[in-house]
Amino acid sequence: MALVVQKFGGTSVANPERIRNVAKRVAKYFDQGDDMVVILSAMAGVTDNLIGLANEMAELPDRREMDVLLATGEQTTAALLAMTLKSMNYPAMSLLGFQAEVMTDCTYCNARIVDIGAERIRELIAERNIVVVAGFQGMDRNGNITTLGRGGSDTSAVAIAAALNADKCEIFTDVDGVYTADPNVCGKARKLDKISCEEMLEMASLGAKVLHIRSVEFALKHSVPLYVRSSFSEEEGTMVVNGDHDMERPVVSGVTYTKNEARITLKKVPDQPGIAAKIFAPVAESGINVDMIIQNTRASGETDLTFTVLKGDFKRAMDIGRQISENIGAEEVMGDENIAKVSVTGIGMKSHTGVASKMFSALAAENINIIMISTSEIRISCVVEEGKAELAVRALHTAFGLDA
Ligand code: ADP
Ligand code: ASP
Ligand code: MG
């Protein structure tokens, strides 16, 4: 008998028939004697619809109220699954984030889990209940509802698995595992039987939304046995392994992309000590994450400063950019939402040269212009025009010999 945490994503609970299929799958494990904790996402499209509604009500919807709103998506599916299981005569109970004592910090819309009590979950398991928990949501120390950022129900699942010391955490989704690139974009992508936490972290942070990045951080930190599998088949899936040193280390193991970022440029910024701090302190204070930063010096002595933020933060970041620009005497602020970031990742890159030049050549061969570049030990990212992202992924997948 094992304690199994299973998480089902939006497409897996998209309609009543699929929720019934989830109930059957969960019931099967329960019948085998396993203790079951099930974490759910909102039905596919629901979170987007709720955000759309909020944007109709206010230009910059209040973030506290946004979380109260968004949490309803997962509240719905948790209740629907629990009542389905009960109608099948299984002992089940749904819990919202706060009832499962998922405690977070106070960053609305992008809260981080600070602690999980899980007392109630333990009690319910001990009484042989199937516990269904609404993913993506928690509560801050003042009793406010918070959400964990888009895709955050993966993190709910792994964090709850860690808190319960579960035997495994399975993420059920609409693809049958982690691939070398998004299989919906790159037909030649290959499914991986195993992926190291390190590579998965990198891929998740660069746009492979198959796992929310913080779920991988939790798995790594708390050694949670983590699997990605399909809700629509019995296939094995991908194991996310913690520190398996026998694994093959190809130079490039994955290609990812994201259209989630936007670019902001402050033009003709005075070139003085302390200016960068003046620009980025207010951005950070308002909880906006900055990804890439580029500064070029003009012949005239001033600099142009370009940085990227999440599209969801773009309007706020532009507002802040305009204020800062006035304060420091920059010439103008420009924004561009039509960009994509394409990245190649691989632990083998640490000990290989020539990866960047190969990447640039492959993009050039497709006539794709590179707007920004950033690198780390195990990754190279290029910002390109949004419409070229998919072509870039396929070209790089082929260039680095990853095609199936
Ligand atoms: P869920 O709603 O189940 O959480 P998501 O849409 O968040 O599902 O994540 C699954 C999607 O992730 C897939 O449909 C696929 O398009 C995308 N994806 C991106 N990169 C990868 C990758 N490297 N391997 C597998 N899927 C990927
Ligand atoms: N429903 C939330 C979202 O769409 C959380 C999740 O699905 O993981 O982002
Ligand atoms: Mg997801």
Using a 6 Å cutoff on CB, does residue 209 contact ligand 1?
A: yes
173-231 pLDDT, tens digit per residue, is 999 999 999 999 999 999 999 999 989 999 999 999 999 999 999 999 999 999 999 99
> Alpha-carbon distance 285 to 51, whole Å?
23
pTM: 0.92
- Mean pLDDT for 63-75 is 98
- 285 class by beta-carbon count within 10 Å (0-12 exposed, 13-18 middle, 19+ buried): exposed
Model confidence at 247: pLDDT above 80: no
> Alpha-carbon distance 37 to 312, whole Å?
32
- Give the mutation target among 11, 38, 39, 41 for probing the ligand 2 site: most ligand atoms within 8 A of CB: 41
List the domain range (segments joined by +) for residue 130: 3-174
How many domains is the chain partitioned into structurally? 1
Which of 251, 268, 313 has its CA nearest to residue 288? 313
Q: What is the pLDDT of residue 301?
A: 87
Model confidence at 170: pLDDT above 80: yes
To the nearest whole number, what is the mean pLDDT of the chain?
95
Question: Residue 66 is part of a domain; what is its CATH number?
Answer: 3.40.1160.10
Q: What is the pLDDT of residue 246?
A: 60
At 202 the three-state DSSP class reads: helix
- Distance between Cα 173 and ligand 1 center (Å): 7
Q: What is the pLDDT of residue 213?
A: 96
- Distance between Cα 296 and ligand 3 center (Å): 37
Does residue 44 sit within a domain? yes
Does residue 113 sit within a domain? yes
Which listed ligand is nearest to 185 at the C-alpha?
A: 1
Does residue 74 sit within a domain? yes
> Alpha-carbon distance 105 to 288, whole Å?
15
- Give the mutation target among 76, 96, 110, 136 for probing the ligand 2 site: most ligand atoms within 8 A of CB: 136
- Distance between Cα 243 and ligand 2 center (Å): 28
Percent of the chain with pLDDT over 70: 99
User: Given the CA of residue 208, which atom of ligand 1 is nearest to it?
Assistant: 20
Residue 198: DSSP 8-state: H
Does residue 249 sit within a domain? no
User: Given the CA of residue 254, which atom of ligand 1 is nearest to it?
Assistant: 23
Residue 244 binned pLDDT confidence (cut-offs 50, 70, 90): low
Does residue 40 sit within a domain? yes
Model confidence at 242: pLDDT above 90: no
> Alpha-carbon distance 284 to 128, whole Å?
46
Element (H, E) at 163: helix 153-164
Does residue 125 sit within a domain? yes
Residue 110: DSSP 8-state: S
Using a 6 Å cutoff on CB, does residue 400 contact ligand 2?
A: no
> Alpha-carbon distance 64 to 238, whole Å?
36
122-138 pLDDT, tens digit per residue, is 999 999 999 999 999 99
Q: What is the pLDDT of residue 243?
A: 74
